[in-house]
Amino acid sequence: MNSAGLRLAFLLLPLGLAAGSAVASDQALKLAFVYNFAKFTDWPERSAPRGALELCVAADDVEHGAAMRALAGRSVRGAPLRVRSIEQAAEVTGCHVVYVPDQNARQVAEIAQAARNAGVLSVSDHESFLRLGGMIGLVSIQGRLQFEVDQETALRAGLHLNAQLLQLARSVRRPKT
């Protein structure tokens, strides 16, 4: 198995997904990445998980619903994972991670700003997400899903991203010294 296959297995096996299954859709794979990002993130005291870790998805459709159900019952560092849909940026309060699919492009900048202000990790596959103030952008390069990180934005929001996560990133915008 090549390194891309091993990385895919690393992401999907904890979710009980098989790469060839119908559930392993594009969105399920992206949510698997988001789930793993949560494992490598430390939150500031004001927004640290107390009880369940809230993963919010700014979408409410069948494809995301199936992917969200695949995450149900998982845990992140001992905290149970709760996955829910949100419709507006104001609902980011109470989330620990927010994923904004590209199909919700009209709200990307607003949700990214709300996430920064609330100490919430923000992730999207929108092509301009990092420029719009997001923290982790999912990108497809030659058919492979990869990610880019704006560490400076995450740090300003009080989030600490593990060095292992940063090493796996395609690119990292580091804080200015």
Structure tokens at 95: 């989330």
Q: Which of 71, 75, 76, 42 is nearest to 84 (CA)?
A: 71
Query: What CATH code would you report for 3-173?
Result: 3.40.50
Domain boundaries, the chain: 3-173
pTM for this predicted structure: 0.84
Q: For 160, phi and psi rounded to 5 degrees?
A: -115, 120
pLDDT at residue 62 in the model? 65
103-158 confidence digits (pLDDT tens) = 888 899 999 999 999 999 999 999 999 999 999 999 999 989 999 999 999 999 99
DSSP of 55-112, one letter per residue?
A: EEES--SHHHHHHHHHHTT-EETTEEEEEEE--SGGGGTT-SEEEE-GGGGGGHHHHH
87-109 confidence digits (pLDDT tens) = 999 999 999 999 999 888 889 99
Helix, strand, or coil (residue 38): helix
